[in-house]
Chains A and B, each alone.
Chain A
Amino acid sequence: MRTHYAYSGSGRESEKLFRFCDGSIQDAWMSGSWDVLVDEERQEHCRAMSTALELRHVSKSFGGFHAVQDLSLSVPAGSVYGFLGPNGAGKTTTLRMILGMLSPDSGELSVLGSPSAMLVRNRVGYLPEEKGLYSKMTATSVIAYFATLKGLSSARANQRARELLGRYGLGAFADKKVETLSKGMGQKVQVLASIAHDPELVLLDEPFSGLDPVNQEVLEDILVDLKARGCTILFSTHVMSHAERLCDRLIILGGGRGLFEGTVSEARSLLPIRITLETAEGSPTLEILPGVHSMEAQSSNRWRLELEPGASASAVLEACFERSLRLRCFDVQDPDLHEVFVHLVGPSAREAALR
């Protein structure tokens, strides 16, 4: 059976569809129609090839408060996607819209190829920001319960629960009531509950908060395992080092808007590279080095250079050799995600905090 989905919207949205789908869609679009008909099988194919989750110009307001404004993002299938932003940036609202708990005021969503996550809910896993479980149930039964709600049979769900608890070091607590577990263990149980049904897409809201460093590593292992099995992971965090280590792509939100979307290295390239340079003899003419935006003398023969966007440190080094500068120190400092984050959201976040 061939089912057709109709997409309508502005030219820009259609353009996006066009970008990742093949010629037949292009033809439909080129013919001037605003509605692009997509064959379901082809769409499935496109999804499998490229995007697990896509938001197009999504907005949501509560009363007069604009929680999310004109947000677009695209999460490649099988990738780990970071959701970064200060408190109140609209992360949880966006996640709830993705999950279909809230409907956007405007814009469109595509979750695993479906316009609503509720239609594919058995293929999606979710861990909310505030963690809680049924305190009187055992670890196994609580994981199994959530898995059965996602369509697993009771026997299979129990088997999965025990398997996961064993694999991630909670085997001894499988039959303990949740209320007897420590906070960190409870949180791990909840993470396992959100992935027990082997979802294709997992949304984790602040999964690392409240975990000690050892358990943070266990959680990282869980995420790496999930990724290895082809699961698409979207997680929000305040901790930049997790995002740097784990994310293929990320989005930085601020005030309900997307401030940046791209890879970690793309994010880093938003800020100039800095080089600390020390020479054996004083006062060379460094300004004429290629790609140097500004320089600041720290002592008579030590400088701090800031490169222009896109300029590379190796070109500077090469130029130094060409000029036969005798270098004592050539220290390249790539900007880290933390700096990028503060640079992007700093002003608005501080403003929000003081408000």
Chain B
Amino acid sequence: MRNALLIAVREFLDNIQTRGFWFGILLVPLLWLMASQVPLILARKGTPTRHLALIDATAGERLFDVVLHHLKTAESRRELFHFREWVAPRLKSGQALPAADKQPQAWSKLQEDLGPLMKVDAGRFAPPTPLNRLVALPPELEWRGHLSEFEGRLRDWMREERLFKPVGVDEEVPLFAVAILQDGPSSNAPPILRFWSANQADTQLQDRIVDALSRNFRSREYSRLGMDPSTIAQVEASQAQLMSFNPRKAEGEEQVGMADLLRQWAPSAFVYLLWIAVFSISQMLLNSLIEERSNRILEVLLSSVTPLELMTGKLVGVAAVGAVMTLGWIGSLVLMTFWTLHTAGAAALAADSIANRLPLELATLLLDSWLLPAFVLYFLLGYLFYAAVILALGSTCNNLKEAQNFTGVIALLMMVPLVSIAFIPKDPNGPVATVLSWIPPYTPFVMMNRVAANPPLREVIGTLVLLLLSDVAVLWGCARIFKTAVLRTGQPASLVQLARWVLGRD
């Protein structure tokens, strides 16, 4: 026992002293940080303003103003959203942001109105750079009334990806798009948007213009047919209300809120962590075994310890590495959650925006549920299963290259639970999830994924017992292979040979 412990300690220290280990620990919070902060930063800094030229080639030439108004409204809405985000943490304590107006309102006026509610040192809000800016075309692209002739020139000009300096802009910019508004084929048909842009991936701008044109056309048609546009707008705005209930929840708490959604999907994140943890530390185990095997340290070790002590020591040592790694991940997630909470401030929570409530819900979920204990349990049991197999197979290989033939197969088998992450939360107690739960190598991942959906107790216990039994069986069989194979040299063992060793016939 003392020897197993000595081996475990060395294994642990050896692994946590590698750069890869710390990189692995930092990677998860780093990814989390990027996932949560980068979109916000990008939204704040804004994508570079896109320059758009608008040509109204319709007979009445009234659509230009319609589109212009629509784009401006969208832009001020966006400014207002940023303004609300900016205001929330700067409100005096105890003050809440008034409910948003339906009508967009200029932020500058809002700041004046909100002045008395805000902290003294709030400063002034700087609006984000606009998403789109309407510009006049350069002289060589002057509209001369003929569509095909203009589009010929336009095509050539845009193909060259030229920069130009529009009126009112200080620098040379590329032309993102040219929108040509055209009458429909008949007087009762809606207008046509001919949208020229080298960027066909981002459809936001063309969607907005189409939206503006459609609304305008519809309201004109309503008037023509003698219907009141405002009444229609009112009717169109009405929508059936969705209230979602979960029968498993206590009376009065049946309503499904964001916390419940989070509860449904958070296990998936844990399955990812579980998977990465099991996969990466199995790899660690394999590497250290192959190192000892290829440079014959194993022989020295086995003159001092029994193969079983060696195997136990390695399993425990690397499990400890895995525990530190996952604790590091979960700890940093919890810390970052609280940090976000702290910086956002209580006032932000009062604002009840989804982005702000998320960290609190996540923190509550982490600290007050079965997630963490389940994670620890399934981590240990899942790790033991894979680690034993890896050790047994690794003990038959002379170098990493030989071992990779085996690990490839194991990685392939491990892909199943990874793929299942995507669909199990949608039907956590469905037939696929149930069947997968009863396959021991998949039990930890699948049951972890189902943990929030309150799977039937007999299934939880049944699969757990099966997993435990198979862990014991796998450990026993693998210890037998390990004992025989670990000092062997020459070709890696065949499957028949492995089976013989397990059965003790060799």
Residues of A close to B14: CB separation below 8 A: 134, 136-137
Q: Which residue of chain B has its CB nearest to the CB of A118?
A: B306
**Given A145-B6, A145-B10, A149-B301, A128:B17 Cβ within 8 A:** no
- B306 partner residues in chain A, CB cutoff 8 A: 118
Known pairs A137-B14, A148-B6, A149-B304; A132 contacts B487 (CB<8 A): no
A227 at interface, CB cutoff 8 A: no
12 A-B pairs, CB-CB below 8 angstroms?
A: A101-B302, A121-B304, A126-B299, A126-B300, A129-B296, A133-B297, A134-B10, A136-B14, A145-B6, A146-B304, A149-B301, A190-B300
Check if A101 sits within 8 Å of B6, measured CB to CB.
Answer: no
Interface residues of B in 270-325 (CB under 8 A from A): 291, 294-297, 299-306
Tell me whether A101 and B303 are in contact in the complex, defined as CB-CB below 8 angstroms, given that A137-B14, A145-B6, A148-B6 are known contacts.
yes
Known: A137-B14, A145-B6. A132 touches B296 (CB 8 A): yes
Tell which of B14, B301, B303 has the most Cβ of chain A within 10 Å: B303
Chain A: which residue is nearest B490 at the CB level?
Answer: A62
Whether the pair A193, B300 counts as a contact (CB closer than 8 A) is yes
Chain A positions within 8 Å of B487 at CB level: 96, 101-102
Contact with B along A146-157 (1 / 0, CB 8 A): 101110000000
Rounded to whole angstroms, the CA-CA distance of A127 and B304 in the bound complex is 12
Please, how many angstroms separate the alpha-carbon atoms of A128 and B487 in the complex? 12
Contacts A101-B487, A102-B487, A132-B295 given; indicate if A194 touches B300 (C-beta within 8 A).
Answer: yes
> A130 on the interface (CB 8 Å rule)?
yes
Most buried by A among B7, B18, B296, B300: B300
Given contacts A137-B14, A145-B10, A149-B3, contact A121 B297 (CB under 8 A): no
Contacts of A137 in B (CB 8 A): 14
Question: Contact: A134 with B300, CB < 8 Å?
Answer: no
The chain A residue sitting closest to B10, CB to CB, is: A145
**Which 7 pairs show the lowest CB-CB distances between chains A and B?**
A132-B295, A126-B303, A128-B299, A149-B304, A130-B296, A99-B303, A132-B296
CA of A145 to CA of B7, assembled, Å: 9
Residue ID in chain A nearest B305 by CB atoms: A149
Given known A-B contacts A145-B10, A149-B3, A149-B6, A121 and B296 have beta carbons under 8 A apart: no
Please give, as numbers and ranges, the residues of chain B lying within 8 Å of A131 by CB-CB distance.
295-296
Interface centre among A121, A130, A134, A149 (most CB of B within 10 A): A149
Q: Give the contacts of A121-177 with B (CB-CB under 8 A).
A: 121-122, 124, 126-137, 145-146, 148-150
A121 close to B295 (CB less than 8 A):
no
Verify B295–A130 contact, CB threshold 8 A.
yes
Residues of B within 8 A of A127 (CB): 300
Write the nearest CB–CB distance from A150 to chain B, whole angstroms: 6
- Min Cβ gap B450→A in Å is 41
User: What is the CA–CA distance of A336 and B300 in the complex, to the nearest angstrom?
Assistant: 34
| CB of A124 to closest CB in B, whole Å | 7
Cα separation A167 to B301 with both chains bound (whole Å): 25
Interface residues of A (CB under 8 A from B): 96, 99-102, 117-118, 121-122, 124, 126-137, 145-146, 148-150, 190, 193-194
**B304 pairs with A136, CB closer than 8 A:** no
Separation of A127 and B239 alpha carbons in the complex (Å):
82
B306 and chain A: residue at smallest CB distance: A118
Asked, given contacts A101-B487, A148-B6, A149-B3, whether A128 binds B296 with beta carbons under 8 Å apart, the answer is: yes
Closest B residue by C-beta to A117: B303
Chain B's closest residue to A124 (CB) is: B303
The smallest C-beta distance from A136 to any residue of chain B, in angstroms, reads 6
- For chain B, the count of residues having a C-beta within 8 Å of the partner chain is 21
Contacts of B7 in A (CB 8 A): 149
A130 to B487, CA, bound (A): 13
Query: When chains A and B are docked, how far (Å) is the Cα of A102 from the Cα of B489?
Result: 13
Checking B6, B300, B305 against A128 with a beta-carbon cut-off of 8 angstroms, the contacting residue is B300
**Which residues from chain B contact A149 at a C-beta distance below 8 Å?**
3, 6-7, 301, 304-305
Which residues from A are CB-within-8-Å of B299? 96, 101, 126, 128
Residue of A nearest to B488 (CB): A62
| Residues of A close to B10: CB separation below 8 A | 134, 145
Distance in Å from the Cβ of A137 to the closest Cβ of chain B?
7
* Chain A residues near B301 (CB-CB < 8 A): 149
B295: A residues at CB distance < 8 A = 130-133
**In the complex, A194→B306 CA distance in Å?**
17
CA distance A128 to B294 in the complex (A): 13
Alpha-carbon distance between A13 and B298 when the two chains are bound, in angstroms? 34
Q: Which residues of A contact B304 (CB under 8 A)?
A: 121-122, 146, 149-150
Distance A190 CA – B304 CA, assembled complex (angstroms): 14
Chain B residues, Cβ within 8 Å of A102: 487
Q: Report B-chain residues with C-beta under 8 Å of the C-beta of A96.
A: 299, 487
Q: How long is the Cα–Cα vector from A285 to B14 in the complex, in angstroms?
A: 78
Task: Please name the residue on chain A nearest to B3 by beta carbon.
Answer: A149
CB-defined contacts of B18 to chain A, threshold 8 Å: 136
Chain A residues positioned under 8 Å from B6 (CB to CB)? 145, 148-149
**A121 and B305 alpha carbons, distance in the complex (Å):** 8
Are B303 and A121 in touch, CB under 8 angstroms?
Answer: yes
Q: Give Cα distance in the complex from A99 to B306, angstroms.
A: 11
Give the shortest distance, in Å, between A259 (CB) and chain B (any CB): 25
Q: Given the complex, which residues of B lie within 8 Å of A145, measured CB to CB? A: 6, 10
Contacts of B17 in A (CB 8 A): 136
**A121 and B295 alpha carbons, distance in the complex (Å):** 21
In the complex, how many angstroms separate the beta carbon of B477 from the nearest chain A beta carbon? 21
Task: Please measure, in the bound complex, the distance between the C-alpha atom of A126 and the C-alpha atom of B298, giving whole angstroms.
Answer: 12
In the complex, chain A residues whose CB is within 8 Å of the CB of B291: 134-135
Which chain B residues lie closer than 8 Å to A126 at the CB level? Answer: 299-300, 303
CA distance A132 to B17 in the complex (A): 20
Q: Which of B448-499 contact A (CB under 8 A)?
A: 487
Contacts of B297 in A (CB 8 A): 132-134
How far is A101 from B305 in the complex, measured between Cα atoms in Å? 10
- Which A-chain residue is minimally distant from B299 (CB atoms)? A128
Shortest CB-to-CB span from B466 to chain A, Å, is 36
CA distance A118 to B308 in the complex (A): 13
B318 to chain A, nearest CB (A): 15
- Candidate in B3, B18, B294, B296 with the most chain A CB atoms within 10 angstroms: B296
Task: Report the bound CA distance from A132 to B14 in whole Å.
Answer: 16
Cα-based distance from A150 to B296 in the complex (angstroms): 18
The distance from the CB of A348 to the nearest CB of chain B, in whole angstroms, is 23
Q: How far is the CB of B120 from chain A (nearest CB, A)?
A: 57
Q: Which of A118, A127, A128 lies at the interface centre, i.e. has the most chain B CB atoms within 10 A of its CB? A: A128
Shortest distance from the beta carbon of A190 to any chain B beta carbon, whole Å = 8
Closest-by-CB residue of A relative to B310 is: A149
Contacts beyond the supplied A131-B295, A134-B14, A145-B10: 6 A-B pairs with Cβ under 8 Å: A96-B487, A101-B302, A122-B304, A134-B291, A146-B304, A148-B6
Task: Digitize B7-47: 1 where CB-to-A-CB distance is under 8 Å, 0 elsewhere.
Answer: 10010001001100000000000000000000000000000
On chain B, the residues within 8 Å of A135 by CB distance are 291
Question: A122 — nearest CB in chain B belongs to which residue?
Answer: B304
Collect the chain A residues with CB atoms within 8 Å of residue B302's CB.
99, 101
Interface centre among A101, A102, A117, A122 (most CB of B within 10 A): A101
On chain A, the residues within 8 Å of B294 by CB distance are: 132
In the bound complex, CA of A101 to CA of B17 (Å):
31
Q: In the complex, which residues of chain B have a beta carbon less than 8 angstroms from the beta carbon of A146?
A: 300, 304
Residues of A within 8 A of B296 (CB): 128-132
Complex alpha-carbon distance, A173 and B277, angstroms: 37
A137 to B301, CA, bound (A): 15
